[in-house]
Amino acid sequence: MKILTIESTCDETAAAVITEDLEVLSSVVASQDELHQRFAGVVPEIAARAHLERCLPVIDEAVRKADIQLADIDAVAVANMPGLAGSLLVGVTAAKTLAWLLGKPLIGINHLQGHIYACQVAFKKPIFPCIGLIISGGHSTIYHCKSPFDFEPLGGTIDDAAGESFDKVASMLGLPYPGGPSLSKCALNGDPKAYAFPRPFLNDTSRLDFSFSGLKTAVRYEIAGPGAVDFKSLEIDEQRKADIAASFEQAVVDCLVGKTMQAMKSTGIQRICVGGGVAANKRFRVALEEEVSAAGGELLIAPMHLCTDNAVLGAIAVEKIKAGQVDDLSLDALPGLIRN
Tell me, what amino acid is at 34? E
Q: What are phi and psi of 259, to 5 degrees?
A: -70, -35
Residues that constitute the known binding site for Fe cation: 111, 115, 309
Give the span between the Cα atoms of 248 and 231, in whole angstroms: 17
DSSP secondary structure string, 263-329?
Answer: HHHHH---EEEEESGGGG-HHHHHHHHHHHHHTT-EEEE--HHHHSS-GGGGGGHHHHHHTT--B-T
Crossing angle for the helix pair 238-267 and 162-172, to the nearest 10 degrees:
170
Q: Which residues are annotated as a binding site for substrate?
A: 134-138, 167, 180, 281
Annotated binding site: 111, 115, 134-138, 167, 180, 281, 309
Measured between alpha carbons, how far is 161 from 166 in angstroms, rounded to an integer?
A: 9
Q: Which residues contact 275 (CB under 8 A, 6 or more apart)?
A: 114, 115, 116, 118, 119, 132, 133, 134, 135, 301, 302, 306, 307, 313
Q: Answer yes or no: are the C-beta atoms of 6 and 91 closer than 8 Å.
A: yes
**Cβ contacts of residue 238 below 8 Å, gap of 6+?**
189
Alpha-carbon distance 291 to 237, whole Å?
Answer: 34
Angle, nearest 10°, between helix axes 213-224 and 238-267?
A: 160
